[in-house]
């Protein structure tokens, strides 16, 4: 017995040592981005350092689509919307001849989205208005647990970036509050953000419909209205941050021009700050796109290069992309 415990103890020691030796961000190559992240975190948490930031001011904001999980060939919420419209179609025979719904029902989401903001709003309203927040949460929870990506056949929540999961955890371990600030619908992200990213619902900022408080069968409910509240893209990202958090982030993470105002707002703070762009350079393991894509990373890339912000090349800087690549 004694030797068993001794061996167990030694095994634990070795394990602890291995965990320690690997250090933070194990799925990142030891290239400039990883070094920049660690250098930033170490200086802001070091008491007495010129760059020390008190724990309550350690706010980090992350875009979601293309920054924490894949957004190709379409933002994943589009597949959710498409599935919902198909499920609701029997009650809406008129949709067969009505855009954007007719395109969705033909399986052509790209044509549906060609209708721009108006089409998107119509689809959001069709899928999210009139029902209660509790009902919508259940619909999302059921969908995300079963729906699969058209190309990889993985669950969508399996297509999150392992290096970014490690980054979120590393920042939190250093006292940061990690927020998601996404153009996606806040009610679409909150049901699973805690489980998948460790980001609690109250730290998710996103787009949404206006809502109404009313009583149904004597019970108070909150119901989506057929009116847009906030679309948290571009210049609305810093506004969402200010309205929701009321402090300026000291670190921001994005992947497209939509995230540029958030980066600029972060970079204009008076203390130390850190801006990082994920650059999709890996056509083999993920997707490769930037300046001229449907999710343009053009002005953002120019500014990042001009200002010396960190730009991560997925191909060069990440050992693996998805958690399922781990042995």
Q: How far is CA 111 from the centre of its chain?
A: 25
3, 47, 56, 306: which one contacts a copy of itself (CB under 8 A)? 56
Segment near a copy of itself (CB under 8 A); pick from 1-9, 101-109, 242-250, 294-302 = 242-250
Handedness of CA 278, 69, 120, 201 (dihedral sign): negative
Does the protein bind a copy of itself through residue 236 (CB under 8 A)?
yes
Rounded to an integer, what distance in angstroms lies between the CA atom of residue 294 and that of residue 71? Answer: 10
Stretch that binds a copy of itself, among 77-85, 86-94, 113-121, 194-202 (CB under 8 A): 194-202
Taking the complex as a whole, the smallest distance from the CB of residue 301 to a copy of itself amounts, in Å, to: 18
Least distance between a copy of itself and beta carbon 181 (Å): 13
Q: Is residue 201 involved in binding a copy of itself (CB under 8 A)?
A: yes
Distance separating alpha carbons of residues 159 and 152, to the nearest angstrom: 9
Segment contacting a copy of itself (CB under 8 A): 77-85, 143-151, 168-176, 216-224?
216-224
Residue 238 binds to a copy of itself (criterion: CB under 8 A): yes
Of 34, 190, 273, 279, which one interacts with a copy of itself (CB under 8 A)?
190
The verdict on 239 binding a copy of itself (CB under 8 A) reads yes
Is 186 a binding residue for a copy of itself by CB under 8 A? The answer is yes
Residues 99-128 that bind a copy of itself (CB under 8 A): none
Nearer to a copy of itself, 113 or 262 (CB): 262
Site pattern 158..177 for a copy of itself (x: CB under 8 A)? -------------------x
Does residue number 29 form part of the binding site for a copy of itself (CB under 8 A)? Answer: no
Q: Which of residues 19, 242, 307, 316 is near a copy of itself by CB under 8 A?
A: 242
Q: Which is nearer to a copy of itself, 55 or 283 (CB)?
A: 55
* Interface contacts to a copy of itself, rule CB under 8 A: 56, 59, 133, 177, 186-187, 190, 194, 200-202, 204, 208, 211-213, 219-220, 222, 229, 235-236, 238-239, 242-247, 261, 264-265, 268
């Amino acid at each position: 017995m004694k030797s068993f415990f001794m061996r167990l103890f030694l095994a634990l020691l070795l394990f602890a040592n291995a965990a320690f030796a690997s250090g933070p961000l194990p799925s990142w190559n030891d290239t400039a981005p990883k070094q920049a992240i660690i250098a930033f975190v170490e200086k802001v948490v070091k008491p007495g350092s010129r760059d020390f930031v008190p724990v309550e001011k350690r706010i980090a904001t992350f875009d979601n689509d293309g920054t924490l999980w894949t957004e190709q060939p379409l933002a994943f919420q589009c597949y959710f919307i498409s599935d919902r419209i198909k499920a609701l179609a029997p009650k809406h025979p008129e949709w067969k001849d009505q855009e954007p719904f007719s395109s969705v029902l033909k399986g052509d989401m790209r044509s549906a989205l060609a209708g721009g903001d108006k089409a998107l709003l119509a689809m959001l309203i069709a899928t999210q208005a009139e029902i209660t927040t509790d009902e919508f949460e259940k619909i999302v929870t059921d969908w995300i647990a079963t729906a699969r990506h058209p190309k990889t056949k993985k669950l969508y929540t399996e297509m999150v970036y392992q290096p970014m999961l490690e980054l979120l955890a590393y920042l939190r371990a250093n006292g940061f509050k990690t927020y998601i600030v996404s153009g996606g619908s806040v009610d679409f992200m909150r049901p699973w953000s805690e489980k998948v990213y460790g980001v609690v619902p109250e730290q998710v900022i996103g787009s949404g419909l206006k809502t109404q408080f009313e009583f149904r069968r004597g019970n108070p409910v909150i119901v989506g209205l057929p009116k847009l509240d906030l679309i948290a893209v571009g210049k609305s990202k810093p506004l969402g941050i200010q309205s929701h958090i009321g402090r300026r982030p000291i670190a921001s993470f994005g992947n497209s021009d939509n995230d540029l105002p958030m980066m600029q707002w972060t970079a204009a703070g008076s203390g130390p700050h850190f801006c990082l762009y994920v650059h999709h350079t890996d056509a083999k393991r993920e997707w490769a796109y930037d300046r001229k894509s449907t999710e343009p990373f053009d002005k953002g890339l120019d500014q990042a290069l001009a200002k010396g912000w960190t730009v991560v090349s997925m191909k060069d800087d990440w050992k693996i992309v998805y958690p399922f690549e781990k042995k």
